[in-house]
Structure 1
Amino acid sequence: MKFPNNLSSPQIPLEDHQKLSDLGIIKSFSAGKTIVNENAHIRSVPIVLEGSVKVMQSDDELKEMVLYYLRPGETCVMSVLAGLYQDTSKVKAIAEEDCKVLFIPVNTFNDLIRKNPGWLNYIFQIYHKRFEELLGVVDAVAFKNMDERLLKFLEKRADLSNSRTLSMTHEQLAQELGTAREVISRLLKKMEAEGLVELGRNKITLM
């Protein structure tokens, strides 16, 4: 398998003679399957090869919110840090769509960073991208109204799936945005009246 050529994502700094299978184990996950659980010990660093993965965090009341998405070529920097420092995961990673993930053992990953500057640069690129996305989440939660957050979230999902029509329930949206289903339903009806979206059965189309 060749590593996906996705210019919008950092690239794994493979040596010319290396294969992905030299680094770790490749596993397939169907949409909705959990890849990394909260509070799990991180023994391998996951890197998405195909598909997309959403990274979420929950509170004490088990309310969840999406922090960011991982695309091909990306890893979860929080999982990297938890693995390198023998900590547990503070987030949950779920397959947003059918995907393939490369798992590199923590010891192997640590050696790669120490011996190859390209790997360290790769991690800094990932860290920079994730930090910007988390700042966006903080900005949205602290300073934007829920209708603005909802529209931006739908646009991001549409970009991720390369489709203006999203197959999502109001309950799913509420869970991923950390709010109530009734709030989402009310806002979507308002957005439909304004011509921003078209609502169908478990479907939302951005206009």
Structure 2
Amino acid sequence: MIHEVDESLRALVRAEVLNGADVDLVFDAPTRDWAARRNTPTVNLYLYDIREDLRRASRGRQNVYDEQGTVVARTLPPRYFKLSYLISAWTQRPEDEHRLLAALLHCFLRHTALPPAGLGPELAATGLPIPVGIALPPPEDRAFADVWSALGGELKPSLDLVVSAPVSTAPVYPAGPPTEEGLTLRSGELTPPPEPGPPPGRRRGRG
């Protein structure tokens, strides 16, 4: 699942941001040593955090349908995981880095989810959208300055991209065949009740 998100992001950034420009796109850790070896303009999408997205957790079982819309199996809903990417631009001039960051920001603001056409087989099989969020406030237990400090580098302008990807690992339970006939009620002919006779003790007659 993680590698499919990487490839979807790679295709999206190359198509809508780089657009054939002579800029590298990598997923390396932007450490001090890596920055010293870099010699070409680069956009870096570094995956620095993976954790479950508990806000999207759901309970119960969900139905699996075939092409005719018939329930063929049941399974548990997928679990979502947040993949957090630190996006940074590396060039010789800060102005060029800012232009790249602006283009990246506009790109992800246009997409609330990864384009379905660029999804890998595992993500596409879920049939679910892959939400993305850009430049959101960091969690209370983490600051972006701490991420740069952990990498051993200096604080640099960057964007935080969060992708919520579903993972389906629950077993699938086959469903029984659908019922073809419903409940049928049959009723026989009812015999009409007899007509009431004269009251006891009275005889029929004139007047």
TM-score by length of 2: 0.25
Higher RCO structure (Cα 8 Å, ≥6 apart): 2
TM-score by length of 1: 0.25
Higher gyration radius (CA): 2
